[in-house]
Structure 1
Amino acid sequence: MATDAHTRRVVAQVAKELTAQLPERTTELANLFLEEIPAFQGEEAVRELMAASTAANLSTMFDLLQHGLPTEQLVVPAAAAAYARRFAQRDLPLESLLRAYRLGSVRFNQWCLRGLSQRELDADVVLACTQEIVQVAGRYIDQISEHLVEIYETERKLWTQRTDAARAIALRTVLDDEALDLGTAEAMVGYRMRGWHVGAVAWMDKDVPDTARRLESAAQLLSTVHGRRPLAVLSDDHTLWAWVTSVEPIRLDHLGLAAALEASGGPLGYAPRMAIGEPAQGLDGFRTTHREAMAARSVAEAAESSPDQVARVVSFAEVSIAALLSENLDSLRTWVRRTLGALARDDEATERLRETVRIFLETGGSFTDAAARLHLHKNTVHYRVRKAEEIRGRPLSEGRLDVEVALVACRQLGSRVLSQAG
C-alpha cells in the first residue's frame, strides 16, 4: 500500500505539470462554459472576467494539490468573486454559475486522472492519489460554491436597491414632469415608451415579512401572463410599480393573474394585491395608465373594510366611477348623503338594502330578475325596495341616475363616503 508521503509527492507532481499548462487549461474550460451555458455568452468584457475567474480558480486548485494546503480557510479568489457580482448585476441565474463549477470540477478531475495514467504506478497508489484529488477538489468546490451563493445574493440585493432607487427617481420625474419629451423620458428610464402600455401597482401589507421578494414575484407573474418582461421598480418597501408594453393594445388575463397571485401567497396567504390601469399609448399613455392603476388601488384599499369586496386584482375599468369621484372625497361624501339620505348609513342592515336596490336598478326595475340575481324570493326584494324608499324619504325613480352612481360609490368606497350609524 502506498504511503501518504508517496501519494502526496505523486499528486504534487501532477499538479505541478498542470500548473505549467494553466493558460491552455483556462481556455479549454472557458470554451466549455461558453458552449454549455448560454448565460456565459455575454459581452466581451464579461467573457474576459469569466476567463480571469476560471484561471484564478484553477490556479488555487493546483496550489492546493501541489503544496498540500488546507481547504478550511479558503478565500474566494478576487476574480471569481468579481464575476459572481457581475452575474448578479446582470440578473443572470445563480444556477448557471454553480453549474460552471460542477462542469469545471469534472474536467479538472479528468486532467488529474490522465496525469496519473501517464505514470507507471501500482494500482493502490493510483487509488490513493485519485481519492486525494477528488476529495480536495470536492471540498474546494463545495466551500467556494457556498461563498459564491452568499456573494451573489448579497450583490443582487444591493444592486437591486441601487438600481431601483435610481430608476424610481427617474420614473417619478417622468410621471410628474409633463414638459419632458418622449426621447428624454426614454433616455432617463432606459425603456421604450412608444407602444401601448398597461400600468400595474402591486402592494403588500406593511406587517408582512419579506415584502420585496414577494413583490418581485408579482413582477415575474406579470411577465408570465403577458409573455414579456415588464418594467418594474419598487417605489417603496411595500409597493411595486410596473408597466407591460406591446406594439398593440394589451389585455391582461385578470383572472389568471389573480389565481397566480393567490397561489404565490403560500399557506399563510402572503400574496400581493394588484391594481391594473387601462391600455394607453405613448408617453402620455404611460402616465395615464399608471395614474389609473394608482386610483384603482385607492378604491381597492377603501373596500377592505368589506371582506366580500376584497379582490386580488382590481382593474380601473371595474372601479372607474368610484375612482374618479373619490378625487374629492369631502364633496363626494356630501353628495352621496344628499342623494341617498339615511340609505347611506354605515351598518349591515342598510348595506343589504343598498345592495338589493343596486341589483334591482341594474336589472331595469324587475323584481323577478333581481330576486334571481340575489337568490331571494321576489316578495323579499319587493319589501327591501319599499323599505329603502322609505328610509331614503323619496322614490328611487326620483334622480334615478344619481342613485345608481351613489350606490356604486358606496359599494366600492365603503366607510369613506357612508354616514356613521346612530
Structure 2
Amino acid sequence: MAPDNDPLVRTVAGRIKADLDRLAPTMTSMFTEVIPEFRHDDEVRRLMVASTESNLAAMLDMLTLAIGIDDITVPPAAAEYARRFAQHDLSLEALLRAYRLGEHMFVQWTMTLLAELNPPTDVALAAAARIADMVNSYIDQVIEGLIDIYESERRRWDARTDAARAAQVRAVLDADDLDLASAEQMLGVSLRGWQQFAVLWTPPGTRDPGAILRAGIALMAAATGKTPMTVEVDDYSRWVWISSAGKPVLDTEGLVRGLRGQPKLSVALGDPATGLDGFRQTCRDAQRARTVALATRTHGLTGYADVALSALFTDRVPEVQEWASRVLGGLMGEDETAARLRETVRAFLDARGSYTDAAARLHVHKNTVHYRVRKAEELLGHPLTERRLDLEVALRACAQLGLPKS
C-alpha cells in the first residue's frame, strides 16, 4: 500500500509559505542576476516581483488545498508582466526560462525541507515526486497561457503603427480633459512615476538614418539604465522616453561620449517630471530644446535645462535678437573681438563681478579681464552693474539663438 504523502506535502508547502518573505526575494534576485532581460527599471521590476509572488502563492495553494490542475489560470500579475515583456520587445524565451529556473529553485526548497523533516525514505521520495509533478504541471499550464498572452500582445503592439503611436502621444499632450487612466491606456505605459522625454534626429539626407537612430536609442538606454519607449516620427527622427518609479539618473558624460562617435546624431532632452502633467511637460521641453538646437545649428546633446530661457523665445527669435541688439549695442559685432568681449562679460557676470574668478574661467590673466571689461563698458556706455539682468539675458539669447542677420 502506497504511503499517504499528502500530509507531508501540505507540511512542506506550509513551511515554504511561512518563509515566503525571505524566499521570494531570493528567487527574484536570481532572475535579475541570471537573465539580462529581467534588469528593468523600477516600475517593471516591481511588476516582476508581483508576478513571482503571485505564482508562488498559486503553487502553494495548489499543494495545500488540493486545487486541480484544470482550475489553474495565469495569475493577473503574471499576465500583466508577460504583456509588458511583449511591449518592450523582450524575448519570450527569456520569460519562459525564468519559469523553468523558478521551478527548479522551488523543488530545491522542498528537497531541503524534506531532508530537515527526515521522514522515512519511501515517504520522502513519494512526497518529493508528488511535489515535483504538481509543480511541473502548474508551470506547464501557466506557460501555455503566457505564450498566448505574450503573442497576442506582441501582435497588438506591432499593429499599432508608429504613426498611430505618434498620434496617441500628441493626443495625450493636447487633450487637457484626458484622465490618467485613459492616457496610460493610449500609450501602453504607466505614467504614475517619473518620465523623461528625448527627441533624436539626423539631418535630412543622412545615409542610413535608421541605423544611426537605433544607435541613439541604445545610447539613451545605456545612459539611463532603462528600456526606453520609442516612436518613429519620420525617417530622420525618433521620440524616446523613459518611464520609471524613481527619478531618472542620466549618465550625461557617457551620453556625450557616445554622441561623439555619432557625429550625425543629435539629442534634445527634456527635464524629468512626474505624472501625466510631467509627461506633457518633459515632451514639450525636449521639443523646445530641439528648436533651440536647430536654430543655433547645435549638434550632440542639448538639454532643456541648459537652454530653457532661450527656449521661451524660439517663437519670437527676430524680436528677441532686435531687443538684444539694443541692450548690447557695440558688443553685437560679428568679429572675433566682439565675440571675445561678450564671452568675457558673461564670465564676469557669472563670477559675480570677481575678476579673479572670471580669469580662472576664461584661462586668461586677471589684467586681461580688467581690460576687456573696461572696453565692454565703453561700448555699452555704462558700467556692467547697470541693467545687469538685461545684459545677462541678452548675452544668453545671443549665445543660444544666434546673432541677428545683417
TM-score, reference length from structure 1? 0.57
**Does 1:375 pair with 2:368?**
no
Q: Following TM superposition, by how much is the alpha carbon of 1:203 offset from its aligned partner in structure 2, in angstroms? A: 1.0
Equivalent residue letter for 1:233: V
Q: Following TM superposition, by how much is the alpha carbon of 1:335 offset from its aligned partner in structure 2, in angstroms? A: 2.1
Q: 1:181 to 1:219 in 2, by over 3 A?
A: same
Q: Following TM superposition, by how much is the alpha carbon of 1:162 offset from its aligned partner in structure 2, in angstroms? A: 6.4
**Does 1:357 pair with 2:345?**
yes
Q: 1:419 to 1:394 in 2, by over 3 A?
A: farther
Q: SS where residue 249 of structure 2 aligns?
A: coil
In the other structure, the counterpart of 2:235 is 237
Equivalent residue letter for 1:402: D
CA deviation string 1:327-372 (max 9, x = no partner): 4323322321221122123333211110011101111222222222
Q: 1:207 to 1:89 in 2, by over 3 A?
A: same
In the other structure, the counterpart of 1:19 is none
- Supply the distance in 2 between the matched residues of 1:287 and 1:413 (Cα, whole angstroms): 24
Q: 1:408 to 1:38 in 2, by over 3 A?
A: closer
Equivalent residue letter for 1:386: R
Q: SS where residue 271 of structure 2 aligns?
A: coil
In the other structure, the counterpart of 1:152 is none
Equivalent residue letter for 2:294: E
CA deviation string 1:76-134 (max 9, x = no partner): xxxxxxxxxxxx999567x99xxxxxxxxxxxxxxxxxxxxxxxxxxxxxxxxxxxxxx
- Supply the distance in 1 between the matched residues of 2:320 and 2:214 (Cα, whole angstroms): 36
Q: SS where residue 206 of structure 2 aligns?
A: coil
- Supply the distance in 1 between the matched residues of 2:400 and 2:286 (Cα, whole angstroms): 15
CA contact (8 A) 1:276 1:315 kept: yes
Map 1:196-275; keep pairs closer than 5 Å: 196-263=194-261, 265=262, 269-270=263-264, 272-275=265-268
Structure with the greater alpha carbon radius of gyration? 1
Q: 1:386 to 1:355 in 2, by over 3 A?
A: same
Map 1:48-127; keep pairs closer than 5 Å: 91=89
Q: 1:371 to 1:174 in 2, by over 3 A?
A: same
In the other structure, the counterpart of 1:343 is 331
- Supply the distance in 1 between the matched residues of 2:248 and 2:226 (Cα, whole angstroms): 12
Q: Following TM superposition, by how much is the alpha carbon of 1:277 offset from its aligned partner in structure 2, in angstroms? A: 0.9
**Does 1:330 pair with 2:318?**
yes
Q: Which of 162, 171, 174 does residue 173 from structure 1 map onto?
A: 171
Q: SS where residue 278 of structure 1 aligns?
A: coil
Q: Following TM superposition, by how much is the alpha carbon of 1:213 offset from its aligned partner in structure 2, in angstroms? A: 2.5
Equivalent residue letter for 1:374: L
- Supply the distance in 2 between the matched residues of 1:226 and 1:362 (Cα, whole angstroms): 30
Map 1:151-162; keep pairs closer than 5 Å: none
- Supply the distance in 2 between the matched residues of 1:38 and 1:406 (Cα, whole angstroms): 50
Q: Which of 252, 270, 273 does residue 280 from structure 1 map onto?
A: 273
**Does 1:389 pair with 2:351?**
no
Q: Following TM superposition, by how much is the alpha carbon of 1:285 offset from its aligned partner in structure 2, in angstroms? A: 0.7
Q: SS where residue 200 of structure 2 aligns?
A: strand
Q: 1:321 to 1:161 in 2, by over 3 A?
A: farther
CA contact (8 A) 2:310 2:396 kept: yes
**Does 1:289 pair with 2:287?**
no
CA contact (8 A) 2:331 2:342 kept: yes
Q: Following TM superposition, by how much is the alpha carbon of 1:381 offset from its aligned partner in structure 2, in angstroms? A: 1.8
- Supply the distance in 2 between the matched residues of 1:235 and 1:257 (Cα, whole angstroms): 22
- Supply the distance in 1 between the matched residues of 2:233 and 2:340 (Cα, whole angstroms): 38
Equivalent residue letter for 1:290: C
Residue identity (%): 48
- Supply the distance in 2 between the matched residues of 1:90 and 1:364 (Cα, whole angstroms): 49
Equivalent residue letter for 1:227: G
**Does 1:405 pair with 2:393?**
yes
Equivalent residue letter for 2:276: L
Q: SS where residue 313 of structure 2 aligns?
A: helix
In the other structure, the counterpart of 1:312 is 300
Stretches of structure 2 that go unaligned for 5 or more consecutive residues are: 1-34, 38-85, 95-153
- Supply the distance in 2 between the matched residues of 1:188 and 1:256 (Cα, whole angstroms): 33
CA contact (8 A) 2:88 2:227 kept: no
Equivalent residue letter for 1:244: I
Equivalent residue letter for 2:225: G
Q: Following TM superposition, by how much is the alpha carbon of 1:38 offset from its aligned partner in structure 2, in angstroms? A: 12
In the other structure, the counterpart of 2:100 is none
CA contact (8 A) 1:357 1:388 kept: yes
- Supply the distance in 1 between the matched residues of 2:309 and 2:316 (Cα, whole angstroms): 13
CA contact (8 A) 1:337 1:419 kept: no
Matched residue count: 263
- Supply the distance in 1 between the matched residues of 2:193 and 2:318 (Cα, whole angstroms): 37
